[in-house]
Amino acid sequence: MLEIGKNAVNEALEAGANIEKLCVQKDLRSDALSRIVKKARERGVKIIFTDKAWLDKNAGGAAHQGVIAVSSEYKYYDLEEIVSAARAAGKQMTILLLDGVEDPHNLGAIIRVADCAGVDAVVVPKHRGCGVTDAVSKTSAGAVQYVKVAKVTNINDTVRYLREEGFTVFATDMDGKSMYSADLTGDIAIIIGGEGNGVHALTKKLADGIIAIPQFGRVNSLNASVAAGVVVYEAVRQREKHD
């Protein structure tokens, strides 16, 4: 997997990711780049100085800022292990379930929100959705190094499992009740639908409730990552007030 750009590369180094080599633009100088190179050397990472054309080609159009790190493929977490560990620590959990989110930039932004809001896991489906890619890592600004992303075979089975574990599961849909009237304290899972189709009908039926973000303008929906951020931070607000 490629970590593209200064933020993504720096966070990968800070998190101790398994970086195979660091590719740096040879004719570019900056303090930030120098710090990254120094950090990579301290960790014994192989450093290759190359030209901008090579970086442009391998960045696939993303802004590489003169640096790309080649790391091992993302290792997904096991959801049951995440839940067990949080239970053992006595922690209230928030989990994001993504139902058909296919845009890597949306997934990356959701992971970034998840890190900022202290979300315990982001769950993506094996099919009908985006996994962790170079573009996801870049958009997450390095947050992918800290957020636990689990990949599951079936989102509906995962909803059933979480409900059995005592989670309250909410699906997001503009026809639901206002999120301000929902109790988002305790162990919760929030289902975010994909671009265009939203949360699938059966998945909504399996949820404990359907919530909506109140809207007052003319556009009829929010971007998936924006919606995730709004709902997650309402949960944060309710928990802080409750505590």
Question: How many CB atoms lie under 10 A from the CB of residue 54?
Answer: 15
The CATH code of the domain at 79-242 is 3.40.1280.10
Q: What is residue 44's predicted lDDT score, i.e. its pLDDT?
A: 92
Tokens standing for residue 109: 């932004």
Q: What is residue 1's predicted lDDT score, i.e. its pLDDT?
A: 86
Taking alpha carbons only, the member of 69, 1, 62, 63 closest to residue 39 is 69
Give, in order, the Cα–Cα distances in Å from 75 to each of 18, 28, 108, 147.
Answer: 11, 32, 16, 12
- Rounded to 5 degrees, φ, ψ at 123 are -110, 125
58 in helix, strand or coil?
helix
pLDDT at 60 over 90: no
Cα 159 to Cα 200: distance, rounded to the nearest angstrom: 12
Q: What is residue 71's predicted lDDT score, i.e. its pLDDT?
A: 86
Whether 76 contacts 149, CB under 8 Å: yes
- For tokens 């870049």, the residue is 138
Tokens standing for residue 128: 């009908």
Mean of the per-residue pLDDT values of the chain: 93
Q: Where are the domains of the chain?
A: 2-71, 79-242
pLDDT band of 142, cuts 50, 70, 90: confident
pLDDT at 195 over 90: no
Q: What is residue 237's predicted lDDT score, i.e. its pLDDT?
A: 96
pLDDT at 242 over 80: no
Domain 2-71 has CATH 3.30.1330.30: yes
Is the model more confident about 195 or about 120? 120
